[in-house]
Structure 1
Amino acid sequence: MGSANDIQKPWIETPLIESATLSKLAGCRIFLKMDLLQPSGSFKSRGVGNFIHANLKSHSQTHPPHFYISSGGNAGLAAVRASQDLNCKCTVVVPHSTKPFMINKLHQAGATEVIQHGASWFEADTHLREQFIIPEHNVDGANVYVPPFDHPLVWEGASSMIDEIARQLPAREGEGEGGGGTNAFAADAVICSVGGGGLFNGTFELASNPPPGVEVTSVVRSDAEAARGVVLLADETRLQVELACGVSVEVAVGKELKKAIPDLNPETRVVVVVCGGSNVSAEIVAGYREQLAAGWE
């Protein structure tokens, strides 16, 4: 195994594109941050990849690390892809509720082993820690626990997205070249999905008491509305995302955006984080389209 310092980080800079169709529907300028193009198919490549990369830099080369993560989906896939890129082993523990579709993806991505245990992520995670991480089962310290969302290194990796957006946004009138040319962030709002909290630095405190100059609006939508976003994005970009991502697209073109930004106008800039997700297929998207046409709400 080579030095981690000689290996590129296991995620990429993704494009930021302005969507004429979504902008027309929303009544403002909609920019799509295309993180579904990450190696694992989701933004999780950034945070989980950053954790694994940083761990390799500090880990003893005497015992190459074997990474372990509990996840029924995207975080596990991100860990496997990052480990493959960095020539390491990675085992994923998933709950029994995980679909065969995702288990197959984990195997195909190169997981050392996929273990099913428990009825929930919590039970899978507890099993992982007890069987592979506690000292009596990890004598040489080579087994490394990868937090799927709750760790500063994961948040740091996810935050790289905002640095990219700041560089990629076109300059406002009167600014220098590039939207990141001044201290002002060249967008009025960022829409992102929050599950485990990886896209919001993982903490409830930041949502409840955001830093000065930041306003946070929480929006909860139905699965049917999220599916509308999935179908809309597929039609607009010919790309597929899962429900947890599609909901951000739906919010961007719906009434919630106008409520959150009362002075919304054609020059308002909104970035939608297209966070991706691998639990989707052409058949699943087609099924959403049929259900919506049949009156799913």
Structure 2
Amino acid sequence: MTSQLFQRIQDAHRLIRPQVAVTPLAHSPMLSKLSGCDVYLKCEHLQHTGSFKFRGASNKIRLLDADAGRNGVLTVSSGNHGQAMALAGKLAGVPVTVYARAKASPVKLDAIRALGAELITIDDTPLAVELEAGRQAKLKGMCFVSPYNDIDVIAGQGTIGVELHEQAQLAGINLSAIFASVGGGGLICGVGAAARQLLPQTDVVACWPANSAALYRSLMMGRIVDSEERETISDGTAGGIEPDSITLEIGQQVISKTTLVTEEQIMAAMKLLARTDRWMIEGAAGVALASMLKLADQYQGRAVAVVLSGRNVMLEKFIEAAK
């Protein structure tokens, strides 16, 4: 599956431009000094809509057939994927309906509405909302776009891995590890599939908040299992995964290491990055940075990349985290 996925990633890397930006790979001198690693930040928080999700959304919309484009697409999101689909659909003239939890981040829900998508909120668990969205898509005859359980979406996210390879090669950087946060697994599977082909000596480190680690538990068991979900500041990675998710099989093939971080570690990482590099990031990006700091002893003196997945966080939540 990963070889076929890599071909799709290569196609996406060529064909989603210039709509999707190539984000910087920025060296952080202060984080390097503090961690003992040579730290590079893949700045997906600077991507359009404020997260990496615009890559997968743009690739999916690009590949819709004419009927699906006319009928519109229906998706489910904790916020970032919904914003990305809303913008990608708007640019292509494709109607977009987004299902979301009523408890999702208000700043993300407001952004989805502002981009012109129809937003439907449900007061239930993330997985329940996801399953209902899929059911409604079938009833309405619309194309359902999963945030992670979709090969075209994963391929779009995988373009980050191609960019990392190109940017590291150009700068003469030998990356020892790539750290990326995990929810449903679309990001880590896409980046991992690209890295296995282009950076085979580089560790692909999957990073979860300990409070919400559904795919981690499933990887440990070798099958999709139910997992206890607790509140986390990493709302972008929260929630369960579909019983048939392709990210389990792909993740088994591309992930080198796994790690869990606490809420305290996530918030400390968010605060640290604001101090060292003057960037305000959301919890999911904090998960990747916190994981790098946790495993820094394993990469002393070596170059590592941290995927800063997004910046869409409420100011009040960020201020609370940074106290």
TM over 0.5: yes
Q: Structure 1 pair 124/157, CA: closer, same or farther in 2 (3 Å)? A: same
Which residue does the alignment assign to 1:158? 157
Mapped contact 1:226–1:243 kept (Cα < 8 A): yes
Which residue does the alignment assign to 2:247? 203
Residue 135 of structure 2 corresponds to residue 130 of structure 1: yes
Q: Structure 1 pair 242/101, CA: closer, same or farther in 2 (3 Å)? A: same
Larger radius of gyration: 1
Please tell me the residue identity of whatever aligns with 1:24: K
Please tell me the residue identity of whatever aligns with 1:117: I
Which residue does the alignment assign to 1:83? 89
Percent identity of paired positions between Structure 1 and Structure 2: 27
Mapped contact 1:42–1:277 kept (Cα < 8 A): yes
- Deviation, 1:99, is 3.8
Mapped contact 1:80–1:109 kept (Cα < 8 A): yes
Partner secondary structure for residue 240 of structure 1: coil
Please tell me the residue identity of whatever aligns with 1:257: A
- Deviation, 1:27, is 0.8
Which residue does the alignment assign to 1:244? 284
Q: Structure 1 pair 30/243, CA: closer, same or farther in 2 (3 Å)? A: same
**Consecutive unaligned residues in structure 2, runs of 5 or more:** 1-14, 190-245
Query: Whole-Å Cα distance in 1 between the matches of residues 307 and 98 of structure 2?
Result: 26
Mapped contact 2:85–2:96 kept (Cα < 8 A): yes
Residue 56 of structure 2 corresponds to residue 47 of structure 1: yes
Q: Pick from 258, 263, 283: which aligns with 1:223? A: 263
Query: Whole-Å Cα distance in 2 between the matches of residues 131 and 197 of structure 1?
Result: 23
**Consecutive unaligned residues in structure 1, runs of 5 or more:** 1-5, 172-176, 180-184, 291-297
Deviations 1:59-88 (A, max 9, x none): 249x62412111121111111121122222
Partner secondary structure for residue 191 of structure 1: strand
Mapped contact 1:66–1:90 kept (Cα < 8 A): yes
Residue 177 of structure 2 corresponds to residue 189 of structure 1: yes
Query: Whole-Å Cα distance in 2 between the matches of residues 7 and 46 of structure 1?
Result: 8
Q: Structure 1 pair 77/221, CA: closer, same or farther in 2 (3 Å)? A: same
Partner secondary structure for residue 150 of structure 1: coil
More helix by share: 2
Partner secondary structure for residue 163 of structure 1: helix
**Residue pairs, 1:65-144, within 5 angstroms:** 65-111=71-117, 113-134=118-139, 137-138=140-141, 143-144=142-143
Deviations 1:127-160 (A, max 9, x none): 33333433xx32xxxx321111111111111111
Query: Whole-Å Cα distance in 1 between the matches of residues 111 and 87 of structure 2?
Result: 11
Which residue does the alignment assign to 1:272? 306
- Deviation, 1:178, is 4.7
Q: Structure 1 pair 7/88, CA: closer, same or farther in 2 (3 Å)? A: farther
Runs of 4+ in 1 over 6 A off after TM superposition: none
Residue 144 of structure 2 corresponds to residue 145 of structure 1: yes
Mapped contact 1:7–1:86 kept (Cα < 8 A): no
- Deviation, 1:9, is 5.8
Partner secondary structure for residue 31 of structure 1: strand
Query: Whole-Å Cα distance in 2 between the matches of residues 243 and 7 of structure 1?
Result: 27
Query: Whole-Å Cα distance in 1 between the matches of residues 57 and 285 of structure 2?
Result: 18
**RMSD of aligned Cα (Å):** 2.5
Mapped contact 2:105–2:314 kept (Cα < 8 A): no
Partner secondary structure for residue 220 of structure 1: strand
The TM-score, its normalising length taken from structure 2, stands at: 0.72
Partner secondary structure for residue 158 of structure 1: helix
Query: Whole-Å Cα distance in 2 between the matches of residues 39 and 125 of structure 1?
Result: 24
Query: Whole-Å Cα distance in 1 between the matches of residues 136 and 310 of structure 2?
Result: 31
Query: Whole-Å Cα distance in 1 between the matches of residues 37 and 59 of structure 2?
Result: 34
